[in-house]
């Protein structure tokens, strides 16, 4: 039986009907490792949901592909690849309601796919400077902080950190 990590809230990303419809379009990528399955979505639906939850404008980025992290038949996280430059880099947008998806096997799959299939040598990410959970996650994933963008977020004028992981 899978146990919820202590202090972890698992609020649904989608209402039941929306999630059920979405599952009809998702394609399995990696099935059930410690109860977490990974699905691929080439439509912009997952990406748009992540941007909405993060308060970002999806129109500002060129969507490539998204992944759904599924645990106990619920989508607990979204990772979208955007602004892909062949043979060079891509950006990652992550939104999750649970850290349970963040396993070595899932991450190895995602980084290896970015490197082997898309031939990128660099993955980029941004986070607000006060988002300690996101900062901790990026550091654990091996991202390096490259700089600070002053007053980057238009809605609240907060600064952002620029991160990169070299593959």
Task: Tell me what pLDDT residue 5 has.
Answer: 42
Task: Tell me what pLDDT residue 11 has.
Answer: 65
Residues 6+ apart with CB under 8 A from 91: 61, 81, 82, 83, 123, 124, 125, 126
User: Which is nearest to 38 in space by CA: 49, 50, 28?
Assistant: 28
pTM of the entire predicted model = 0.83
Please list the ranges in the chain whose pLDDT falls under 70.
Answer: 1-11, 32-33
Task: Tell me what pLDDT residue 135 has.
Answer: 93
Give CA 162 to chain center in angstroms.
16
pLDDT tens column, 20-45? 988 888 999 987 667 888 999 998 99
- What distance in Å separates the CA atoms of residue 23 and residue 44, rounded to the nearest whole number? 14
Task: Tell me what pLDDT residue 33 has.
Answer: 62
Task: Tell me what pLDDT residue 7 has.
Answer: 40
Domain extent listing, the chain: 11-101, 121-167
CATH number corresponding to 121-167: 3.30.70
- What distance in Å separates the CA atoms of residue 83 and residue 61, rounded to the nearest whole number? 6
């Amino acid at each position: 039986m899978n146990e919820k990590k202590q202090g972890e809230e698992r609020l649904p990303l989608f209402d039941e009907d929306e999630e059920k419809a979405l599952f009809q379009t998702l394609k399995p990528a990696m099935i059930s490792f410690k109860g977490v399955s990974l699905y691929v979505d080439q439509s912009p639906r997952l990406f748009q949901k992540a941007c909405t939850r993060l308060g970002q404008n999806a129109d500002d980025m060129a969507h490539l592909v998204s992944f759904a992290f599924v645990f106990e038949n619920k989508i607990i996280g979204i990772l979208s690849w955007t602004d892909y430059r062949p043979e060079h880099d891509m950006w990652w947008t992550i939104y999750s309601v649970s850290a349970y998806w963040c396993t070595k096997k899932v991450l190895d799959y995602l980084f290896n796919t970015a490197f082997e299939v898309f031939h990128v040598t660099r993955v980029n990410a941004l986070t607000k400077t006060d988002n300690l959970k996101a900062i901790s996650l990026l550091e654990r994933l091996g991202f390096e902080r490259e700089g600070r963008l002053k007053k980057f977020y238009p809605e609240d004028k907060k600064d952002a950190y620029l991160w990169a992981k070299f593959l």
